[in-house]
Amino acid sequence: MAKTKLLFITPEMSPFLELTKISEITRQLPMAMQEKGFEIRILMPRFGSINERRNRLHEVIRLSGMNIIIDDNDNPLIIKVASIPSARMQVYFLDNEEYFQRKHVFRDGNNKFFEDNDERLIFFCKGALETVKKLGWAPDVVHCHSWMTSLVPAYLKTIYKDDPTFKNSKIVYSIYEDGFTETLNPEFVRKATLNGVLPEHLDAYKAGDIQALHTGAVSYSDAVVLGNEGLSEELLKYVKNSAKPVIQAGSALDYENYYNLYEEIANEEFVSLA
């Protein structure tokens, strides 16, 4: 029997970038699922604070060279890779000089939210899916972590729904209280309406705040993980009303719950684990 293919898309992962608890989860969870027999791939941005030499990143020429068009601008996508020897896993890094080569991640040295975080989000989400296509690797489950991945579910269920790489993929979205209090650029949804995506497809995202990004992602996902406590009551109510399979990530990772969730949605057995 073929291995279940599990794709993780995340803004951070230990030891490369450690901003929040997401970095720990996205390091430990893939390792645990690999030990259970899953085939794993991991994608994250190559933020400027990630040391290439220390982490032994190197460019993957056959994957690089694509352009991601945002607001009529061509943005080169460079793919780099690093290995985690102890886990026998490879992590693919999406790089772009304009969007990611900065000393800081989401805020500048004065703690000001970057004005182009909307375009950085679009670039990463679109670039991640194009990279997987180029890999020629069709995931059974795509697990998206945090608001930086929130457009992936929408893109998968619209412009990529008939793509051979993704047509059978199921989506899990993890919500974390790792967000921002600002609002993305008012033109965010317009910029995010790439070929094949209509403005109405992104209605849930329109407000451009953290709540809207999570709500939009949940609406297109097949299952939801509540990544930590402290999520808004409004958001929790929306998740509950969605009637989708939900698991609550505890203080210690419950790998069995994750394993069951992945297997059930990959086999279209939608059983709630809440």
Q: Tell the residue number behind the tokens 């500048």, with chain if given.
A: 108
User: Could you tell me where the beta strands, DSSP code E, fall in 124-231?
Assistant: 141-145, 170-175, 223-226
Torsion angles phi and psi, residue 84, rounded to 5: -110, 95
Q: Domains of the chain by range and CATH?
A: 5-266 (3.40.50.2000)
- DSSP character string of 192-213: H--TT--GGGGGGGTT-SHHHH
Q: What is the pLDDT of residue 1?
A: 59
pLDDT for position 54? 86
Would you state the pLDDT for residue 33?
94
Q: Residue 196 has what pLDDT?
A: 79
- Specify the amino acid at residue 61: I
Please classify residue 83 by burial: count the beta carbons closer than 10 Å to its beta carbon, then call 0-12 exposed, 13-18 middle and 19+ buried: middle
> 12: closest CA among 148, 120, 209, 212?
148
Q: In this predicted structure, what is the pLDDT of residue 179?
A: 77
pLDDT for 271 equals: 44
Q: What is the pLDDT of residue 199?
A: 85
SS3 249: coil
Q: Which residues of the chain are under the pLDDT cut of 70? A: 1, 85, 178, 250-253, 269-274
pLDDT for 231 equals: 87
Residues 154-167: b if buried by 16+ CB within 10 A, e if exposed: bbbbbbbeeeebbe
In whole angstroms, how far apart are CA 93 and each of 45, 57, 124, 130? Answer: 5, 8, 10, 13
Pair 174, 145: CB distance under 8 Å: yes
DSSP state of 113: B
Is the separation of the CB atoms in 274 and 245 below 8 Å?
Answer: yes
The model's pTM is 0.94
Q: In the prediction, which pLDDT does 269 show?
A: 45
Contact at 8 Å (CB) between 141 and 269? no
Identity of residue 66: M
> What is the C-alpha separation between 149 and 114, in angstroms, rounded?
17
Tokens, residue 33: 């699922």
Is residue 20 classed as helix, strand or coil in its secondary structure?
Answer: coil
Predicted confidence at residue 250, as pLDDT, reads: 65
Q: Determine the distance from the C-alpha atom of residue 102 to the mean position of all C-alpha atoms in its chain, rounded to a whole number.
A: 20
